[in-house]
């Protein structure tokens, strides 16, 4: 399941409506001994600005994956949600983009840990 692109029934913050959004699944809770398994995912956006840790999916790549247009994988927008809100599987993230994602994701996580360690030292 990690590395797969799915639609996800997301609640829109402005009006509470449900919209199917593309997401990249990055993990799940199946090894956490929980009765209900959640998924961990990051957003894929066609309207967001690309940040330092984000991955750009150009129009050609997007078409081959099954996305409607050029998109940004928002590595820093990490969520946990119910597996029951998954819609349809779109595709698997191609290997080259998955490697790029893993590099950027690790950089982002290292940055978070570094910030937490600084807080620990200051306290």
CATH number of the domain that residue 101 is part of: 2.30.30.110
Q: What pLDDT, on a 0 to 100 scale, did the predictor assign at position 35?
A: 62
Q: What pLDDT, on a 0 to 100 scale, did the predictor assign at position 118?
A: 72
Q: For residues 105 and 102, give the distance between their C-alpha atoms in angstroms, rounded to a whole number.
A: 5
Q: What pLDDT, on a 0 to 100 scale, did the predictor assign at position 70?
A: 97
Q: What pLDDT, on a 0 to 100 scale, did the predictor assign at position 20?
A: 92
CB hemisphere CA count around 91 (13 angstroms): 14
DSSP H or E stretch at residue 98: helix 95-122
Q: What pLDDT, on a 0 to 100 scale, did the predictor assign at position 19?
A: 87
Domain containing residue 22: 4-122
pLDDT per 10-residue tile (average), the chain, 123 residues: 92 84 89 74 94 96 96 95 93 97 96 81 65
Strands of 18-28's sheet in order across? 55-57, 71-82, 38-45, 18-28, 4-11, 86-92
Q: Is the model's pTM score more than 0.95?
A: no
What is the number of domains present in the chain? 1
């Amino acid at each position: 399941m990690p590395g797969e692109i799915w639609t996800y029934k997301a609640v829109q913050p402005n009006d509470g409506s449900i919209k199917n959004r593309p997401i990249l699944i990055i993990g799940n809770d199946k090894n956490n001994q929980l009765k209900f398994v959640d998924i961990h995912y990051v957003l894929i956006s066609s309207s967001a600005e690309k940040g330092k840790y984000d991955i750009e999916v150009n129009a050609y790549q997007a078409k081959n994956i099954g996305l409607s247009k050029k998109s940004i994988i928002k590595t820093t927008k990490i969520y946990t949600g119910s597996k029951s809100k998954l819609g349809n599987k779109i595709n698997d993230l191609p290997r080259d983009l998955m490697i790029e994602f893993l590099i950027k994701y690790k950089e982002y996580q290292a940055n978070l840990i570094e910030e937490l360690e600084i807080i620990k030292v200051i306290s």
